[in-house]
Structure 1
Amino acid sequence: MTDRSVDHEQPSQVLRHAYEAFSAVVVRLDDEESWLPTRCVGWAVRDLIFHCLGDAQRGLVALHTPSTGPADRDAVTYWQDWRPDSVGAANGRRWARVSAGMFLDFDQLRDLYLETAAAAVTAAERADPERVVATQGHVLTAGDLMTTLAVEATVHHLDLTTGLPTAPAPSPSALSSVRSTLDGLLGSAVPVAWDDEHYALAATGRVPLTDAERQALGADAARLPLFG
């Protein structure tokens, strides 16, 4: 279950923990492992790392892109635009796969991800979390942006390690942020005794619901996945 002792952490701390946990997986990988499958349809490990590199780059840009506001999204409502099986999602899968394949030496992709993620964390720690910034066509506070970045990195951490049984686990504080985000999208605390990892996987469509889980969720079962 959730460790509520991490709830007091600032968004920049949660982002640091999420990115450091993800980086702890990436830094250990070799070329052969970079071709292992992930939970993301059509993506090998290297493809997913390239996608997460783009997310860290986007965060780095957004933290240096102030907006006049007002915010039109927060750390929960940001995800309302990100539904699975959209045309944009399919195009993004193809683009990441082709682009990641252009790195003939996996070490180059690995090192680029590691240095970009570290730069994004440094920028987050120096940013005013109340300042509004622009990203993905929306405006939100820098703190809420940091939370969305941590949530995405943590869900993808679970995707990345499905074929890496000895890989380091995601950050507990970041998993707590994933739970808070999913509860926010659901509108209440989930009525199923899922631990944070299983909640992240089930509520984003990565593992199927059992009949008992569907019964416990009631009408809300049809709303899953909450984001893709």
Structure 2
Amino acid sequence: MAAHPADHVGASAPAGPQPAPPARLVAEAYEQLAGAVGGLSDEESWLPTGCTGWSVRDLMFHHLQDAQRALVALHTPAQGPPDRDAVTYWRDWAPGTAGAANGRRWARVGASMFLDLGQLRGLYLETLAAAAHAAARVAPEGTVRTQGHVLTAGDLMTTLAVEAALHHLDLVTDLPGAPGPTARCLAAVATTLDGLLGHRPAADWSDERYARVGTGRAAPTERERALLGADADRLPLFG
């Protein structure tokens, strides 16, 4: 796994990596994912991930759909002011809903149609590259439409990088030799979670641990719950 910034302590924000422009951030997130899947064997593609019910193949197919959505959104200018930003976008995404269950089944069925891992991986890698290329050529202050909402292109790119970093963590759960997301991408996840919570949580977490617990990928320990206080009942913040 990539090195992570210093743990969060109390309400003080750590000295972490410098933020990147949104297009650079999504390119970094996608480049790291591409590196993680580039050398996977067919056998490894059937290993479980951090997403319930999904193998590595299933997760690749799911994230392929997100990269395809990115391509469409980045080429879909919107009229009017944004109604979501890089933080509030996630308020629509709660775990345990019927939509989440339907999406889980859809990814499994869709991924199963690729009999050859090379076909799925090739499409995945070229789509990630195309989405990153498109992001670099869109003005971040322009507005775009996706999933029924209007965001600035820059905020959309940030959400794409956050999702990519989280799914990167999911991907390498049973792939200990694979590289993980970068410290800068994990910091973007932490910033998003801070925005949803309204403040920095009072827990001594690395950004990776914060990402896992804050999105329901891991449960807080009793010690962490004690540190969090009332905030513990608000988790996960999205999933």
TM-score (norm 2): 0.93
Where does residue 32 of structure 1 map in the other structure? 43
Matches within 5 A, 1:73-222: 73-222=84-233
User: Are 1:6 and 2:6 matched, yes or no?
Assistant: no
SS at match of 2:145: strand
Where does residue 11 of structure 2 map in the other structure? none
- Post-superposition Cα deviations, 1:118-160, rounded to whole Å, max 9, x if no partner, equal 0000000000000000001100000000000000000000000
Counterpart Cα distance in 1 of 2:156 and 2:173? 27
SS at match of 2:124: helix
Give the superposition deviation at 1:3: 5.4
Where does residue 224 of structure 1 map in the other structure? 235
Counterpart Cα distance in 2 of 1:20 and 1:162? 18
Identity %: 63
2:60 corresponds to which of 49, 52, 60: 49
Give the superposition deviation at 1:6: 2.0
Counterpart Cα distance in 1 of 2:15 and 2:138? 27
Counterpart Cα distance in 1 of 2:202 and 2:35? 33
Unpaired segments ≥5 residues, structure 2? 1-5, 7-13
Q: How many residues align?
A: 227
Counterpart Cα distance in 2 of 1:118 and 1:3? 31
Counterpart Cα distance in 1 of 2:154 and 2:237? 22
- 8 A Cα contact 1:175 1:196, kept in partner: yes
- 8 A Cα contact 1:3 1:172, kept in partner: no
Counterpart Cα distance in 2 of 1:225 and 1:162? 19
Counterpart Cα distance in 1 of 2:15 and 2:170? 22
Give the superposition deviation at 1:28: 1.2
Where does residue 9 of structure 2 map in the other structure? none
Counterpart Cα distance in 2 of 1:198 and 1:186? 16
Query: CA RMSD, aligned part only?
Result: 0.9
Larger helix percent: 1
Which ranges of 4 or more aligned residues in structure 1 deviate by more than 4 Å?
Answer: none
SS at match of 2:194: helix
Amino acid at match of 2:77: P
SS at match of 2:81: coil
